[in-house]
Amino acid sequence: MSTAITKVGKAAKLSPDAKRKAWVARSLILPALIFGIVLTQIPFLTTIGYSLFTWNLMYPDDIHFAGIDNFVNVFTMGELVPSIFATVLITTAAVVLSLLLGLFFAILLDRKFFGQGIARTLMITPFLVMPAAASLIWKYSMFDTNIGILNWLNSVFGLPVISWSTDLPLLTVIIVLTWQYTPFMMLILLAGLQSQSREVLEAASVDGSGIFRTFQWITLPHLRQYIEIATLLGTIMLLQVFDPIAIMTKGTGDTKTLAYLLYERAFIGLDVGEAAAYGVVTVILTMITATIALRTVFKVFMAGGAR
Amino acid sequence: MLFSKKVNAAGAIVATSALVLGAVGLGTTAANAATTITVATVNNGNMKDMESLKGEFEKANPGITVKFQVLEEGDLRAKVTTDIATGGGAYDVITIGAYEVPMWGADKKLVDLTADLADPAYDVKDILPPVRAALSVKGKQYAVPFYGESSILMYNKDILKAKGITMPNKPTWQQVADIAKKVKTSKTAGICMRGKPGWGDLFAPLTTVVQTFGGSWYDMKWNAQVNAKPFVEAVTFYKNLLDTAGEKDPVSYSFNECLTSLKEKKSAMWVDASVAASMLEAKDSPVAGHMGYVHAPVYKTKESGWLWSWNLAVPASTKQKDAAVKFVKWATSKEYHQLVGKTLGWASVPPGARTSTYSIPEYKKAASAFAKITLEVMSSVNPKQPGLNPQPWTGIQFVAIPEFQDVGNKVAQLVADALAGRKTVKAALDAGQKIAQAAGNKHK
Q: List, for residues A75-119, the tens digit of each pLDDT value.
A: 988 889 999 999 999 999 999 999 999 999 999 998 888 888 898
CATH of B151-306+401-443, one of 3.40.50.1000, 3.20.20.70, 3.40.190.10, 3.40.50.20: 3.40.190.10
pLDDT over threshold 70, residue A32 = yes
For B412, which residue in chain A has the nearest alpha carbon? A252
pLDDT band of B368, cuts 50, 70, 90: confident
- Cα–Cα distance, A128 to A181 (Å, whole number): 10
Instruction: For an interface test with A, give the residue of B7, B96, B249, B257 to mutate (most A CBs within 10 A).
Output: B249
- Cα–Cα distance, B365 to B341 (Å, whole number): 12
In angstroms, the Cα distances linking B343 to A6, B238, B338, B340 are 88, 43, 9, 5
pLDDT band of B7, cuts 50, 70, 90: very low
pLDDT band of B427, cuts 50, 70, 90: very high
- Cα–Cα distance, B89 to A142 (Å, whole number): 45
pTM equals 0.82
Domains B2-149+308-366 and B151-306+401-443 share a fold: yes
Give the B-side interface with A, CB within 8 Å: 3-4, 7-8, 10-11, 14, 74, 78, 81-82, 84-87, 103, 107, 109, 195-199, 247-252, 261, 264, 266, 402-403, 405-406, 409, 413, 416-417, 419-422
Where do the domains of chain B lie?
A: 2-149+308-366, 151-306+401-443
| pLDDT score recorded for residue A135 | 92
pLDDT over threshold 50, residue B17 = no
pLDDT over threshold 80, residue B9 = no
- Cα–Cα distance, B413 to B262 (Å, whole number): 25
- Cα–Cα distance, A51 to A48 (Å, whole number): 5
Rounded percentage of chain B residues whose pLDDT exceeds 90: 63
Residues 6 or more apart whose CB falls under 8 angstroms from that of B430 comprise B227
Strand partners, B127: B354
Please, what sign has the CA dihedral across residues B330, B334, B337, B343?
A: negative
pLDDT band of B370, cuts 50, 70, 90: confident
Q: Amino acid identity, residue A129?
A: V
Please, what sign has the CA dihedral across residues B243, B245, B247, B250?
A: negative
Burial of A188: CB neighbours in 10 Å, binned 0-12, 13-18, 19+:
buried
DSSP string, B374-393: HHHHHHH--SS--SSS--SS
Instruction: For an interface test with B, give the residue of A44, A141, A146 to mutate (most B CBs within 10 A).
Output: A146
pLDDT (mean) for A184-211: 88
Burial of B219: CB neighbours in 10 Å, binned 0-12, 13-18, 19+:
middle
Q: Phi and psi of B398, rounded to 5°?
A: -150, 165
Strand partners, A17: none
Chain A: closest CA distance from residue B420 (Å): 5
Report the candidate in B379, B303, B439, B336 with the shortest Cα–Cα distance to residue B56: B336
The SS3 of residue A65 is: strand
The SS3 of residue B160 is: helix
- Cα–Cα distance, B140 to B132 (Å, whole number): 10
The SS3 of residue B295 is: strand
pLDDT over threshold 90, residue B221 = yes
- DSSP character at residue A216: I
| Gyration radius of chain A's alpha carbons | 26
Instruction: For an interface test with B, give the residue of A63, A252, A257, A267 to mutate (most B CBs within 10 A).
Output: A252
Q: Which CATH superfamily is domain B2-149+308-366 in?
A: Periplasmic binding protein-like II (3.40.190.10)
| pLDDT score recorded for residue A210 | 82
Q: Phi and psi of B383, rounded to 5°?
A: -70, -15
Strand partners, B295: B152
Rounded percentage of chain A residues whose pLDDT exceeds 90: 36
Residues 6 or more apart whose CB falls under 8 angstroms from that of B131 comprise B98, B145, B148, B307, B309, B352, B353, B378
CATH of A80-255, one of 3.50.50.60, 2.40.50.460, 3.40.50.300, 1.10.3720.10: 1.10.3720.10
Residues 6 or more apart whose CB falls under 8 angstroms from that of B435 comprise B226, B407, B410, B411
Q: Count CB atoms within 10 A of the CB of residue B258.
A: 26
Residues in A closer than 8 angstroms to B4, CB to CB, are 53, 63-65
